[in-house]
Amino acid sequence: MSDDKKSLGTAQMRLIDVIEALSGHEVFGVRLKELAEAVKTGAPTVLRDLQTLEEKGWAKQDETGKWRLGTKPVQIGTNFIWGITKAKQDVAETEQRYTREPS
């Protein structure tokens, strides 16, 4: 591991691993044990990470105890798509202004 990566927090890196492990389980969810195995960390630690993520809308536990992504990453993705769409519209409008025939 390079020196600049050594300064990155282990807990923060693990949170990202947990988010990535949740991805793809949006419909049926995933059990804590499976997530712990996926991120190669003990279940109590992953549970604490999931509870932290749940507090901020990044994860959600359903009534059967399974975990899935929360609404926050979906909202961020939607905002990204909206921003790209808006930028495309702005570029198209600018292009149209510059390519019109002079009156």
Three-class SS state of 56: coil
First to last CA, the chain: 63
The answer on 75 and 62 residing in a single domain is no
| The pLDDT value given to residue 101 | 74
User: Beta strands of 1-103 (E only): which ranges?
Assistant: 59-61, 67-69
How large a percentage of the chain has pLDDT more than 90?
81
In this predicted structure, the answer to whether residue 24 has a pLDDT above a threshold of 60 is yes
Helices (H), 27-70: 32-39, 43-55
Find the domain containing 77 and state its range.
Answer: 71-103
Q: Where are the beta strands (DSSP E) in 48-103?
A: 59-61, 67-69
Residue 41 sits at φ, ψ, to 5 deg, of: -140, 155
Do 52 and 9 lie in one domain? The reply is: yes
Note whether 84 and 54 are same-domain residues: no
Indicate the pLDDT class of residue 32, thresholds 50, 70 and 90.
very high
Same domain, yes or no, for 36 and 76? Answer: no
Mean pLDDT is lowest, of 14-18, 50-54, 94-98, for: 94-98
Are residue 63 and residue 79 in the same domain, yes or no? no
> Does this model's pTM top 0.85?
no
Condensed to tens digits (0 to 9), the pLDDT of residues 89-98 reads: 999 999 998 8
- Tokens 């992953």 sit on residue: 46
